Structure 1
Amino acid sequence: MQMMIADQFTESISGERTRIINPADGKPAGEVPKGGKEDVDRAVMAAGDAFRRWSVLPTSRRGMIFWQSAALIRREADRLALILTTEQGKPLREAKDEVLGAAAVFEYYAGSASLVSAGYTDRLPRYGYGIIQRRPLGVCGAIIPWNMPVLIAAWKIGAALITGNTLVLKPSINAPMAVLAVGEVMIRSGLPPGVLNIITGNGRDAGDPLIAHPDVRKISFTGGIETGEHVARVTARTIKRLTLELGGNDPMIICSDMDPAMMADAALRLRLYNAGQICTSPKRIIVEEGIYDTFTTHLERLLRDVTVGDGTDPGSMMGPLNNAEVRRSVEDAVQTLRDEGATIIRGGKNEEFPKNGFFYNPVLCTGVPEDSRIHAEEIFGPVLPIIRADDLDDAIGIANDTQYGLGASIWTRDISAAERASEALEAGIIWVNQHMKLPPEVPFGGIKKSGFGRENGLAFIDAYTEEKTILINR
């Protein structure tokens, strides 16, 4: 698997390599170059050289490369999904969903190529003529996490490249191989050298030099709040454009007019998708008093049949967590809930799991106190805290009582209740009778400490271009 910097070098300048671990068994899944500052400098230089040619290419030509890349990704979806499962841990069916989602994102950007306008001209009385030009920014940088690496990479690659920019992309060192494979697919689809550059390295050695580089005009970062604050401080020194998506603590409000058995099934499927390691996963399940007890009983019954195992096993409903640090943070969160007086009905560690894998049984928790830390802190794993609400107003108050504001969902048959909740909930995206669906046609991003800026939709045009005004007096 190649590291693509400049002429697709297969090694970092240091010659060192990093071993990638399979979270299901702790065995090596592969190796990637250990990139550092010199590799970032070389990648930014290559991107700068390529920008002069790529930025003047007709958008239809750029779009054609994305069409071809999407077609090749679909054709090789099984291969790419296996790479993703091996390094990330999710079941193969989920990995394939993600890979096909990335293909859909590339198709969206290919179809949006004609919307990337070069600008417009207007006659202005008393001023003459005004020419408004829209131009790409230049070399952009992106840093992505390990939880949905292929899909999030596609968001950032598509937006940056279709608008005429070039990109230096740093995936998480915990899951870089599938992203490298997608980059290789794009090269085979006709992407010129230097347009997309992928650096594999850790945050200190590769991430920090990228966000601080004076020739990088924009950074798009997806990750945690603490790291996002660091990125904001560093990029401010060179006045870079910045997009931050910093996670979420999404509420899922279930009204008493819904069928409790159906909602228990929905909550389980949504929360256990990718072992709960998704920013928009429903992390706080808020249930109205009228169906709380019945809902909880159904959910406990469903949990008994959940199979946790290797993602390559077709019988596994949920795979392992990605790494030891994540599992430790989930264990700490569950212990905190116990200390606060909540009831852990079932779940947690299981001695029958392979010792070298990062497995963890889903946890069902009730009796969560109003001042619990789960309202302030994101649990990035398969924990289902069920919170009782007196009515819809109470549920909305609980939902908004968090520093996050990425997504939220309201489940009800009452359209007026859905409208009221949609207006009152503090989040960047509100779902009604669904959760986590993110078509590339709509803008995505958060408010409060979930970050700022939007990805996808038509927001990408403003995010990755700048306007120049020329006034002509004849």
Structure 2
Amino acid sequence: MTFPASPQSGERNYRVPQLFINGEWRDGTAETVTRVINPATEEVLGELSHASVADIDQAIAAAEVGYRAWRNVPAYERGMLIERAVALMLERRESIAFLITIEQGKPLAQARNEVTAAADMIKWYGEQARRIYGRIVPSQLSRAQILVQKEPVGPCALFSPWNMPVVLAGRKLGGALAAGCSCVLKPAEETPASVAAMVACFADAGLPAGVLNLVFGPPAEVSRQLLSSSVIQKVSLTGSVSVGKLLAEQSATGLKQTTLELGGHSPVIVMADADIDRAVAQSATAKFRNAGQLCLAPTRFFVQAAVYDRFVDAFGKHAASLKVGDGLDPYSEMGPLANARRLSAVEELVSDAVAAGGHVVSGGMQLGDRGYFYAPTVLCDVPPQARAWREEAFGPIALIKKFDELDEAIADANAIDLGLASYAFTDSAAAQAKLSAELEVGVLAINNIAVSVAEAPFGGVKDSGYGYESGEEGIESYLRTKTIHRQV
């Protein structure tokens, strides 16, 4: 077994991971592989072997056996094991953060924060394992009672993306394991080692064989095989709208319980009474974190006319001041885009916006001749027909538009088919109430940027998906309800 020799704190070695099936690390036996590339240097880090049909069948079989054992482990013991895994994650934070940065590109400080956030989310789920309650309902019959109890839904197929590889995989693992489910995890092939290092923490903490399985391979092929299995009872995906709709169709055939966290194009509404310096500092930080490659990244800024010029000037200066570079450079504040696909997509959106009449306040260009670097970009006067208003940027692009009345801003914010996260800055209680009632989103942060936390549900509406992760609703999505009417 070459991966992992449990990474020690501070270790900076890169090894392409193996599959993890039924408690064993092993190479995939498919003929295909994925080249893992450092987005800052375009260096090939190694070749990731894929799971074959037989490998995936074995992972499913292992999850089925693992589920039968894990569901009967007392909730207290499940929670304690999860706590041990979390402790290992924090002990190995430097090593895991290094893997995130070299695979995905974000600055090392942001990668450390990602590991910490993932550990916090998983820890919350582990604590919540002891709080999965049922209830007793009075019966209409004599000497009888109705018991409503919660049970784990069964083996789960979990699909996570490359942009926040450890947080988004960890949030799914935490909920599934705390509820008593087993799982087959399929992360993105672009960022395999960081997720595998987290899986290693669970294995080293003593998780029984088969409860957690890790596979890699062509997404369409792996998902099709997992979702066609009658063993898999639950599907959770964080990904694009198009992939989400495809998996929803495939899941419907087997009537599988499904959670879909899909795209976002987050609006930010800034009222004239807001603390503008605070609004700029918080929203610009959130915008360019992870090079804007976040489904919850603020992107469409609607600023009231009285403070528009001041906001644009301050936001543009903030963007221009950011140091863009290799995430391993301690002075870098924004790293590269994660892959060549994202670089091309961002370039196309900016070119289309400028061609349509948009004005570049800051950025608007690729940086350097090596790596997938793009300047933090601020655009104004972009007409509504430009693609950037309708399509998720998933990159360092901010669009700023002036408005007069709040109704106008709300209408613009609701004008697209995506509704995940949103932000607002205002001290008006009336405006806050109106925004809370009328914005068509799953999450709204007012005078702050914290839309995703361990304790509260996170999910979207419209084409941004359905179901929730985190909070009580997150663990509920890995449970099913059984009613028992008992008479003596």
**Normalised by the shorter chain, which TM-score bucket?**
over 0.9
Following superposition, the deviation at residue 137 of structure 1 comes to 1.5
Letter in 2 for 1:375: W
Name which of 384, 407, 414 aligns with 2:421. Answer: 407
Are the aligned partners of 1:201 and 1:207 in contact in 2 as well (CA < 8 Å)? no
CA distance in 1, matches of 2:79, 2:47: 32
Give the direction of change, closer, same or farther, for the CA distance of 1:11–1:417 in structure 2 (3 Å limit): same
- The number of residue pairs the alignment matches comes to 471
Name which of 169, 172, 179 aligns with 2:185. Answer: 169
CA distance in 1, matches of 2:287, 2:79: 35
CA distance in 1, matches of 2:30, 2:435: 54
Following superposition, the deviation at residue 377 of structure 1 comes to 1.3
Q: What SS does structure 2 have at the residue aligned with 1:320?
A: coil
**What does 1:23-422 correspond to in 2, within 5 Å?**
23-117=39-133, 119-126=134-141, 128-350=144-366, 353-355=368-370, 357-422=371-436
Give the direction of change, closer, same or farther, for the CA distance of 1:461–1:101 in structure 2 (3 Å limit): closer
Following superposition, the deviation at residue 280 of structure 1 comes to 0.4
Q: What SS does structure 2 have at the residue aligned with 1:286?
A: strand
Q: State the TM-score, normalized to the length of structure 2.
A: 0.93
Residue 439 in structure 1 maps to residue 453 in structure 2? yes
Letter in 2 for 1:309: G
Name which of 458, 466, 474 aligns with 2:480. Answer: 466
Give the direction of change, closer, same or farther, for the CA distance of 1:177–1:184 in structure 2 (3 Å limit): same
What per-residue deviation string (whole Å, max 9, x for no partner) do you get for residues 71-115 of structure 1? 111111111100000001000000000000111112101211111
- Work out the percentage of aligned pairs sharing the same amino acid: 35
Q: State the TM-score, normalized to the length of structure 1.
A: 0.96
CA distance in 2, matches of 1:7, 1:414: 55
Following superposition, the deviation at residue 15 of structure 1 comes to 6.5
- Structure 1 unaligned segments of length 5 or more: list them: none
Greater mean deviation of Cα atoms: 122-131 or 361-370: 122-131
Give the direction of change, closer, same or farther, for the CA distance of 1:454–1:61 in structure 2 (3 Å limit): same
Greater mean deviation of Cα atoms: 335-344 or 85-94: 335-344
What per-residue deviation string (whole Å, max 9, x for no partner) do you get for residues 428-474 of structure 1? 01100112442210011000110000111111343111122222343
What per-residue deviation string (whole Å, max 9, x for no partner) do you get for residues 155-191 of structure 1? 1001111111101010011112101000001111111
Are the aligned partners of 2:275 and 2:425 in contact in 1 as well (CA < 8 Å)? no
Q: What SS does structure 1 have at the residue aligned with 2:189?
A: coil
Letter in 2 for 1:216: I
- Structure 2 unaligned segments of length 5 or more: list them: 4-17
| CA-atom RMSD in angstroms | 1.6
CA distance in 1, matches of 2:458, 2:314: 33
Greater mean deviation of Cα atoms: 234-243 or 339-348: 339-348
Letter in 2 for 1:429: V
